[in-house]
Chain A
Amino acid sequence: DIVMTQSPDSLAVSLGERATINCKSSQSVLYSSDNKNYLAWYQQKPGQPPKLLINWASIRESGVPDRFSGSGSGTDFTLTISSLQAEDVAVYYCQQYYGVPQTFGQGTKVEI
């Protein structure tokens, strides 16, 4: 299985400041035939299901604010919240869909 490791496990950021979450995969999730990174990011607020924010490592889902951005390639990825808002308090997960089974990171809790 591809192991996804996120860092840090939690972080506290002031309102309006930048939050950066890292995700590292145990093997590359870049598929050479289409040059795409098979990686997604999700946001889970308390008592709610996860919500897809980003797929293909950097493509925002429709309706996701542009303060959320994804970057990286191969084995190292980053989710950045450029200016943290109160409603961004949540746990964030990365997921690889390159290998079988698809696997998630352990989650990063973002607080204010």
Chain B
Amino acid sequence: QLQLQESGPGLVKPSETLSLTCTLSGGSISGNIYYWGCVRQPPGKGLEWIGSIDSSGNTYYSPTLKSRVTISVDASRNQFSLKLSSVTAADTAVYYCARLTITGTSRGYFDSWGQGTLVTVSS
């Protein structure tokens, strides 16, 4: 059974870069029927898609975050990573790693999720 595990600092200073690594177990990041994505959820609020990547390294980002987001994949480690630059308090959220079943270019539904990790932006 696929498991996704997020790891990274729980506290990031304003203007710095948030880094998150997602590690897969029980499945492979390779293959062309899934995207690997990141979703965030501010405390007490709803879900926001940040971006996705396929196993070839093709990336797709939310237009509202595109200028600050980089997602990369390391197939040899069965991992993918998120970097979000120039963070502010508005970026405080639980960040989830997820697998998407591909339904169209850059799109899909999220069929497996990590437990999530709270990242707080504060000095």
Contact = CB atoms under 8 A, between A and B. Distances in A.
Interface of A: 1, 38, 40, 42, 48-52, 55, 61, 93, 95, 97-107
Nearest to A52: B111
B15 interface: no
B110 to A, nearest CB: 6
Contact of B107 (A1, A50, A97): A97
B interface secondary structure, majority: strand
B7 to A, nearest CB: 15
Interface stretch (B20-28, B46-54, B76-84, B85-93): B46-54
B103 A101 contact: no
Contact of A93 (B47, B63, B112): B47
B107 A100 contact: yes
Contacts, number: 61
B96 to A, nearest CB: 6
A101 B38 CA distance: 13
A98 B108 CA distance: 8
A100 B106 contact: yes
Nearest to A91: B46
Contact of B110 (A42, A101, A105): A42
Interface in B34-80: 46-49, 60, 62-63
17 contacts: A38-B103, A40-B110, A49-B96, A49-B115, A49-B116, A50-B96, A51-B113, A52-B110, A55-B101, A95-B109, A97-B103, A97-B107, A97-B108, A100-B60, A101-B62, A102-B49, A104-B46
Given A97-B109, A102-B49, 11 more contacts: A1-B63, A38-B103, A38-B107, A42-B47, A49-B98, A50-B110, A52-B110, A52-B112, A97-B108, A98-B107, A107-B47
B111 A61 contact: yes
